[in-house]
A = this chain, B = another copy of it.
Amino acid sequence: MSTPGRGLHGHVLDTLGPEITAGEYPPGSVLRTDELAQRFDVSRSVMREAVRVLESMYLVESRRRVGVTVRPKSEWNVYDPQVIRWRLAGSDRPWQLRSLTVLRSAVEPVAAGLAARHATAEQCAELTECALGMVAHSRGHKLEGYLLHDVAFHRVILEASGNEMFARLGDVVAEVLTGRTQHDVMFEDPDPAAVTLHVQVAEAVRAGDSARAEELTREITVGALQELDILAP
């Protein structure tokens, strides 16, 4: 899924990216290209390419006579999949998961509503299949299989919305769901109510009931928020 060590500059990014996104260099810190090249034992050309990528992620800014300065967190392109992965692997993972879950709570209900109008017959079938797969793996510590279908379910919803911006969040949702299962909560079987909701969403989409699909999905995301103690009083 990721883009590991694609060439030397990729290897450099695999180390430097996480360091920066972890906040190891405070905003305004200055990195020198030559020093970095020495540190990673690569040529200046390779180092420059890596810096260009970091620059395009708004993580750093390169200025003459000054060096490569780290930009404040508020300017980072937090939607870059690579940046998201780096941050999820770092120390502010909990914070990152919260931000992404809130984003989900905003996007997924609307996406489900749109999916109810735009989904093809094939997508409806896929959705039902995913929901049934979740039911089948909802008991007896089959978390792995459950996760697989859960991820696929939300991916289809986002895809079927017909909105490209929503569709591209499939990877993000996958990361959140995967992370949640593997590291944080959910040591036991998933909440039966959540499973039921997924089945009902699939049915609502199939029936073309936009409002119902949206509302049911909102309930799902509210559950996700509650799992992280993000209240909505």
Contacts and interface: CB of A to CB of B under 8 A. Distances in A.
Decide if the interface of chain A is mainly helix, strand, loop or mixed: helix
A208 to B, nearest CB: 11
Nearest to A96: B164
Nearest to A54: B56
A48 B52 CA distance: 10
Contact of A168 (B48, B78, B109, B111): B78
B77 A80 contact: yes
Contacts of A53: 52-53, 55-56
B79 A79 contact: yes
Interface residues of A, number: 36
Contacts of A56: 53, 56-57, 80, 82
Copies of this chain, complex-wide, total: 2
A205 to B, nearest CB: 16
A27 interface: no
A136 interface: no
A206 B100 CA distance: 26
A126 interface: no
Interface string A148-164: 00000000000000011
A103 interface: yes
A164 B78 CA distance: 8
Contact of A9 (B52, B78, B168): B52
A105 interface: yes
Interface string A99-126: 1101101110111001000000000000
